[in-house]
Amino acid sequence: MPVKKLLFATNNAHKVAEIQSAVGDQIEVVSLREAGIDIELPEPFDTLNENASEKWGTIYRLTNENCFSEDTGLEVAALGGAPGVKSARYAGDDANATRNIEKLLSALEGKENRNARFRTVISLVWEGKEYFFEGICEGNILKQASGNQGFGYDPVFQPNGADRCFALMDSKEKNIYSHRRKAADKLVSFLKEQVETLNNSQFIK
């Protein structure tokens, strides 16, 4: 059976790899760049659900193809849920992971409560209908960064039940805890229910 393709409204190779790992080999997850789409995706809203919807909506209006997007936030209890939806731009619009982590650690200095959670929302448009899939990983923020695996806040986030941060885990171990993997597994379950009735025209060629 030929591999089917599904457009992921992102150019983040790390995210594509994590979703592809969950999907397996039945469906090829294709990034915007791989699909030849060069566009900046907006994230103008204050919730993960709204931003995820806006991203796939932008691509759907261009392609009229089934596609999905995701938005992820790190929600820190002692900071009232910040950085949350602004996680990627916590230290400014041109911030990188290092600067975001530095700002986070500074904000938590002297605070005993370092509980946090990663939350991923995947939004899928399928045959003109929208579906949401959520994944949550509870954990805590370490006092200093370590490791070089993963991306984003992985060097300072340790999931509950683990003895190390995400950035010290290989992808197999991270997937045991991963918020994105949990959301992706729900997406995969939905796709498996639909795949037998799908027409190739509903996937990008």
Task: Tell me which residues are annotated as active site.
Answer: 71
Query: Could you tell me how far CA 194 lies from the centroid of its own chain?
Result: 22
On whether the CB atoms of residues 185 and 19 are closer than 8 A, the answer is no
Q: What is the DSSP letter of 110?
A: T
Helical spans, DSSP H, in the chain: 13-23, 48-63, 97-108, 171-177, 179-194
On whether the CB atoms of residues 86 and 93 are closer than 8 A, the answer is no
On whether the CB atoms of residues 108 and 82 are closer than 8 A, the answer is no
Residue in 150, 198, 179, 177 with CA at minimum distance from that of residue 27: 198
- The dihedral through the CA atoms of 17, 37, 4, 49 has a sign that is positive
- What is the β-pairing status of strands 67-76 and 115-126? antiparallel
Rounded CA separation 114/26 (Å):
40
CA angle 119, 85, 111 (to 5 degrees): 80
